Amino acid sequence: MLIKLNLNKDSRFAPAPKAMSKRSVADLKPGERATIESFNDQLMSLKLLEMGCLPGAEVCLHCKAPLGDPICLNVSGYCLSMRRSEAATILIEN
Amino acid sequence: MPGRPALNRQIRRHAKHKLTASLSTSPILALIGNPNAGKSSLFNQLTGMRQKTGNFPGVTVDKKSGTWTVDAQLTATVVDLPGVYSIYPKSLDEQLVTDILANPAHPDYPDVAVVVVDASNLHRNLLLFTQVADLGVPTVLALNMLDVAMKQSKQVNSVRLAMRLGVPVVRINARTGEGIDSLKKAVMGQLEHPTLPGQLFFDPADGEPDLITDTKEHYQLTNNYLALQYIIQHDGFSFLNRSQQVGLDEIIKKHNFSEPTFQANETITRYKRIATVVSEAVTDQRPIGQPTWSQKFDRILLHPVWGYAIFGMVLLLIFQAIFAWAQPFMDAIDTGVAWLNGQLKASLPAGPLTDLLTDGILAGIGGILVFIPQIAFLFLLVALLEESGYMSRVMVIMDRIMRKFGLNGRSVVPLISGVACAVPAIMATRSIGTRRDRLITILVTPLMSCSARLPIYTILIALVVPSQRVIGLFNLQGLALMGLYLLGLVSALLSAYVLKLLLKTKERGFFIMELPTFKLPRWNHVGMTVYDSVRSFVWEAGRVILAISIVLWVLASYGPGNAIEQAETRVRKENATLANDDLQNRIASERLEASYAGHFGHFIEPAIRPLGYDWKIGIALLSSFAAREVFVGTMSTIYSIGSGDDDGENTTIRQRLREERNPDTGQPMYTPALAWSLLVFYVFAMMCMSTLAATQRETKSWKWPAVQLAYMMILAYVSAFATYQLMK
């Protein structure tokens, strides 16, 4: 069974928002939880999706490396590390 | 039904293949899975073949094959593939998996794919499984790490999983070998009657029917998902020729197909299906974010202060172990070889053959045997870091610093393995996804002091650095050794920085990496790693050293015409009044100088004079040009021939160097200035053919090994010159 998506108009792959209106995973504090809403960088999103960062998935900022970069994220039961700039492409629900 | 034609074709292909297989060849089994899912452990269980499996992503950088005796009639070839998260590769090592699975004509194309999954993280592990199954490869799912899942209070119902996925599912424990028999049955079943899931987990024809039909027609494909791989990945498919690749570009343009969007949709759809399957087959999902003990450890190991402090302590521990703990073992070997040498000289009749055996072969081999304890300690500690999972944490805390120098957190693994040997380290760079980061890492890794430099460091440090304790804790010689390693590291980072400025790129680097849970090291794996490294050091290096020692002994014992005899007569005439011992030494020295080797040494002496070296060191430099570990062996041979103690005295190479006098001043030859100049030279010098060959292989060009050789040699000469002139 497949879910047909109108991908070209899909809001999840909209260009980066102009203002800092949306919070991203990079803004999380250690221990804070959030739900992934969308991505603002398509190429990065392909890698993140494969690693289980799906829209609707709950994530928890596990810890930050010294100087806050890279960060470690708990997602779908395991720990994923990524750079702050990469985390900033994962937008979260408010 | 969209999946059917593919299925029929597969069955036909396999029926045909099996016929030939039973007659001549053996079936091929591929082990596929996420990094750290346990493929390599399973590979070892099946084949009994020794290989390294580390607990960080990307340790299997190339495929490995072995044979598995399934039963008396059937022997299968097992291919262990690098760990990947999906069929879309992110780096060079991952490309291999796609190259094989997308090309049924590939010699390693499997008859059965065993997808090894980590049962404690089923969702992400099953993503790859569904892609492999959709490509039409008969698949067996091996559920590994059920014990970990159990600890996280997850129960996996494998029967239900098998029904929902449509492939055989077996429960295994790759570490202990449990469940291998069931795996055997499942694999046999798939070989005899290949079955595929009734329909594709993701059928691209549902979203883009015309595109897929078009591609299948043009390229005689039957599998919809394989057709999609042709569309999305054809640039990386080496089995397609140029016009085929262009043809695919045209199909994409014609159908106005957006690859990234479609690929994102594929992943989301697959995860949706997987979520349904897992929710039916797995009970009691643990909520996310609850810190396990592994994650509590991370809070300390990634801490801004403690993280670096612990990493520093770990490095310090390694150097202490190499220098202090290994010392008693080394002394024992050293004196043992000297004793044996003395015994042989005393008991064998004097003559050229005895000289060759003692001064040539035994001196050269002894110079190498003595470093076994240090190399064993080094590989033991590096293997423990890799096995435990600590190496991944080091990548995380080092990424930001590494990025400043044009490297990547993943460069830490090659750099640290470079301390053991640059050749596997350069191969390990394949896991670095960014091309420029990878190239820079390859170019600077040989600056890390490898184990072949260790013998040189040890001998020279022992000559000029007193063995005393500072602050009651650290051995001064150990600190000097650490200083040399740091010099190598700092120069590697600075060279990387210069290369970063020189090599421009538009490519975006990325660092998305799984942090594996901490695991207890598998002691048998650690033991095998240490044993293999020591054995290959002794055998591989030993053979070269043996050959060079013999050649060198001949060159050092014979000279053009009767120059050697003339030299001896001259010395006897000029120094008739000298005591016997001194006379013998003077004669031996003059004979060496008159030999072929002496002529070589004198020939290059003008070039190395400014660095403080004489013609004897010149011989050692020349002979170690292809492999720096030869240096100590050569020195042993030269100083053994060049000294007159034929009376069987127990003299070690260190004593000989200490007793060596400068003919001009009469002072000890090995002054601190000379020793440090040599040390600095060997920190930087690119004296290893194997490394240059590895660079050539990995960069597929002669340009980069040439660049590497040139910049390292210039750096070595200039630094050694500066060191000698400043300290003189």
Cβ pair A82:B513 closer than 8 A: yes
B372-388 vs B390-404: helix crossing angle, rounded to 10: 90
Confidence band, pLDDT 50/70/90 cuts, at residue B573? confident
> Residue B325 corresponds to which tokens in the numbers above?
């703990």
Burial class (CB in 10 A: 0-12, 13-18, 19+), B256: exposed
Q: Give the pLDDT confidence score for residue B643 in this predicted structure.
A: 66
B291 to chain A: nearest residue by CA?
A62
Suggest the residue from B1, B164, B302, B305 to mutate for an interface test with chain A (most A CBs closer than 10 A).
Answer: B302
Q: Look at chain B and count its residues.
A: 728
Place of tokens 């240090």: B374
The whole-angstrom separation of Cα B128 and Cα B141 is 11
> Residue B320 corresponds to which tokens in the numbers above?
């202490």
Q: Give the pLDDT confidence score for residue B52 in this predicted structure.
A: 47
Across chain B, what does the average pLDDT equal?
83
> Residue B357 corresponds to which tokens in the numbers above?
């055996």
Give the strand order in the sheet containing B169-171: B64-69, B75-80, B28-33, B112-118, B139-144, B169-171
- Rounded to a whole number of angstroms, the distance from the CA of A93 to the nearest CA of chain B is 17
Q: Which of B152, B285, B302 sits opposite A65 (nearest CB)?
A: B302
More confidently predicted of B271 and B558: B271
Give the list of residues 6+ apart from residue A88 with CB closer than 8 angstroms, or none. Answer: A24, A25, A26
- Rounded to a whole number of angstroms, the distance from the CA of B232 to the nearest CA of chain A is 13
Q: Which of B90, B289, B515 sits opposite A81 (nearest CB)?
A: B515
Residues B481 and B327 sit within 8 Å (Cβ to Cβ)? no
Residues B329 and B416 sit within 8 Å (Cβ to Cβ)? no
Fold classified for A22-92: SH3 type barrels. (2.30.30)
Residues A76 and A36 sit within 8 Å (Cβ to Cβ)? no
The amino acid at residue B382 is: V
Q: Give the pLDDT confidence score for residue B363 in this predicted structure.
A: 74
Q: Give the pLDDT confidence score for residue B284 in this predicted structure.
A: 63
Q: Give the pLDDT confidence score for residue B147 in this predicted structure.
A: 87
Three-state DSSP at B78 gives: strand
- Rounded to a whole number of angstroms, the distance from the CA of B695 to the nearest CA of chain A is 29
Report CA torsion sign: B292, B298, B299, B300. positive
Report CA torsion sign: A25, A28, A31, A35. negative
A9 to chain B: nearest residue by CA?
B261
Q: Which of A13, A62, A80 sits opposite B512 (nearest CB)?
A: A80
Q: What is the DSSP letter of B661?
A: B
Residues B570 and B528 sit within 8 Å (Cβ to Cβ)? no
Q: Give the pLDDT confidence score for residue B431 in this predicted structure.
A: 77
Q: Which residues of A touch B85 (CB under 8 A)?
A: 50-51
- Tell me the sheet residues that pair with A63: A72
A3 near B CB under 8 A: yes
pLDDT at B6 over 50: no
Residues B401 and A65 sit within 8 Å (Cβ to Cβ)? no
What's the complex ipTM? 0.79
Place of tokens 């804070």: A32
Cβ pair A49:B269 closer than 8 A: no
Nearest to B641 by CA among B626, B660, B666, B665: B660
A84 near B CB under 8 A: no
Q: Give the pLDDT confidence score for residue B287 in this predicted structure.
A: 56
Three-state DSSP at B139 gives: strand
The whole-angstrom separation of Cα B511 and Cα B493 is 19
Q: Which of A50, A66, A67 sits opposite B267 (nearest CB)?
A: A50
Suggest the residue from B91, B200, B266, B267 to mutate for an interface test with chain A (most A CBs closer than 10 A).
Answer: B267
Q: Give the pLDDT confidence score for residue A8 in this predicted structure.
A: 42
The pLDDT tens digits of the residues spanning A64-78 come to 888 888 999 988 778
A81 near B CB under 8 A: yes
* Stretch (H or E) spanning B48: none
What number of CA atoms fall less than 13 Å from residue A72's CA on the CB side? 31
How far the first Cα of chain B sits from its last, in Å, is: 84
pLDDT at B263 over 90: yes
Q: Which residues of A touch B285 (CB under 8 A)?
A: 77
- Tell me the sheet residues that pair with B115: B32, B141
Largest Cα–Cα separation, chain B? 105
Cβ pair B304:A75 closer than 8 A: no
pLDDT at B23 over 60: no
Cβ pair A74:B124 closer than 8 A: no
pLDDT at A11 over 50: no
* Stretch (H or E) spanning B225: helix B224-233
pLDDT at B126 over 50: yes
Question: Strands (DSSP E) along B119-244, which ranges?
Answer: 139-144, 155-156, 169-171
> Residue B208 corresponds to which tokens in the numbers above?
């883009």
- Tell me the sheet residues that pair with B393: none
Cβ pair A81:B513 closer than 8 A: yes
- Structural domains of chain B in order of their starting residue, each with its CATH number: 4-203 (3.40.50.300), 541-670 (no CATH)
Three-state DSSP at B626 gives: coil
* Stretch (H or E) spanning B278: helix B259-281
Contacts 24+ apart (CB under 8 A), B78-81: B78/B29, B78/B30, B78/B31, B78/B43, B78/B46, B78/B47, B79/B28, B79/B29, B79/B30, B79/B31, B79/B108, B79/B110, B80/B31, B80/B39, B80/B40, B80/B43, B80/B51, B81/B30, B81/B31, B81/B32, B81/B39
How far the first Cα of chain A sits from its last, in Å, is: 31
- Rounded to a whole number of angstroms, the distance from the CA of B310 to the nearest CA of chain A is 13
The amino acid at residue A25 is: V
Confidence band, pLDDT 50/70/90 cuts, at residue A92? very high
Q: Which residues of B touch A79 (CB under 8 A)?
A: 294-295, 298, 514-515, 517
Q: Give the pLDDT confidence score for residue B70 in this predicted structure.
A: 82
Q: Give the pLDDT confidence score for residue B25 in this predicted structure.
A: 60
Q: Give the pLDDT confidence score for residue A18 in this predicted structure.
A: 47
A2 near B CB under 8 A: yes
Q: Which residues of A touch B255 (CB under 8 A)?
A: none
A28 near B CB under 8 A: no
Neighbour-count burial for B358-397, b at 16+ CB within 10 Å, e otherwise: bbbbbbbbbbbbbbbbbbbbbbbbbbbbbbbbbbbbbbbb
A77 near B CB under 8 A: yes
The answer for A 42-71 residues in CB contact with B (under 8 A) is: 42-52, 54-55, 58-60, 62-67, 69-70
Q: Which of B202, B268, B515 sits opposite A72 (nearest CB)?
A: B515
Confidence band, pLDDT 50/70/90 cuts, at residue B335? confident
Q: Which of B258, B298, B307 sits opposite A66 (nearest CB)?
A: B307
What are the distances in angstroms from CA B582 to CA B359, B576, B595, B639, B653? 19, 11, 20, 15, 19
Q: Which of B289, B299, B512 sits opposite A51 (nearest CB)?
A: B512
Contacts 24+ apart (CB under 8 A), B220-227: B222/B5, B222/B6, B222/B8, B222/B9, B222/B136, B223/B6, B223/B9, B223/B134, B223/B135, B223/B136, B224/B2, B224/B3, B224/B6, B224/B200, B225/B131, B225/B134, B225/B135, B225/B136, B225/B200, B226/B6, B226/B102, B226/B135, B226/B136
Three-state DSSP at B627 gives: strand
Q: What is the DSSP letter of B321?
A: I
Confidence band, pLDDT 50/70/90 cuts, at residue B703? very high
Nearest to B382 by CA among B49, B93, B60, B54: B54
Suggest the residue from A81, A84, A90 to mutate for an interface test with chain B (most B CBs closer than 10 A).
Answer: A81
- Percentage, residues of chain B above pLDDT 70: 90
Residues A52 and A70 sit within 8 Å (Cβ to Cβ)? no
A55 to chain B: nearest residue by CA?
B268
- pTM tops 0.95, yes or no: no
The whole-angstrom separation of Cα B679 and Cα B307 is 31
Q: Give yes or no for a cis peptide into B287 (omega within 30° of 0).
A: no
Radius of gyration of chain B (CA): 31
pLDDT at B288 over 70: no
pLDDT at B499 over 60: yes
